[in-house]
Chains A and B, each alone.
Chain A
Amino acid sequence: MKMKRGKPKVDIPSVAMGDIAFNLLIFFVILAQSQDDSHIQWTPAKADNLKGAGYTRVTVTIDKDQKVYLNGQELSEGQLASRIESHLGDAPAGQRKVMLKAHSDCTAAKFEPVIEAISQAGGELVHILEDKKKQ
């Protein structure tokens, strides 16, 4: 008796699709991390009666080592005002929010020139703080 050989099934292997997607995701997450400020170490100061800060295109951070960052990129205080101005462009009032994430223990010698630069650039300052009640 002769056995008939069946046609070999040709198919794109889809088993690895999940792994490919997973690796792509990790790649884009790492890429995005270089643009945000989640890698900066800082502790927010605490205060009462806080409101939602909303959305902004510009975030200035002063970390625990008193280094200044604009949207996650380190820069000097001297460059700050012009860089904020270029980020804000011609945005109308109400859409010129600049978030300031200053480390709780950073000193006035550091944060006051930063506040001045934000003011000079026409930014609407929002201090990012932590609610005292959360403790």
Chain B
Amino acid sequence: MKFRRSTKLLVDVPAVASGDIAFNLIVFFLVCASTQPDTGRSQILPKSEQTQQQKEQDEHLTVDLKRNAVLINGDPVKTMEIKARVKAKLAGKSRPDDRVVIVKSADDVPYHAWIEVTSQIEDAGGIITLQLEEERTVDVPQ
């Protein structure tokens, strides 16, 4: 008995490896996504302590930060001029203790404004020290 050989061959795309290809693609994109570096600005702050600030305020430069204004030792200053003004005030002071700048912020000052001002103070050679109120009012939702 003779068998007839079929001349038609089944041609198919090999699908066995497609799972592995997908897996490798996912790993590749995950690695790409997770290695995006963060950029930032480091800030050295003195360790917090409770002190009577009156004497220190008299000796050091004080920057009052309000929502729409910046005051250096009580004088209003434009945001763009902060660096130059602080630099001028700190001229001739080489000891770190003398370069301390006390920053007092109003409760409603946004973070981006705070960063803008403190960056300029640091660029001018100042050492930032925060002065926080002892008590803050917190509204509790009813």
Contact = CB atoms under 8 A, between A and B. Distances in A.
Interface in A32-84: 45-53, 62
A135 interface: no
A1 B2 CA distance: 11
A41 B65 CA distance: 27
B110 A106 contact: yes
B48 A52 contact: no
A107 B136 CA distance: 13
Interface in A83-135: 97, 99, 102-109, 111-113, 115-116, 118-120, 122, 124-131
Contacts of A49: 41, 119, 123
Nearest to A29: B30
Contacts of B41: 47, 49-51, 126-127, 129
Contact of B16 (A14, A21, A106): A14
Given A1-B1, A113-B132, A125 B111 contact: no
Interface string B81-115: 00000000000000000000000011111111011
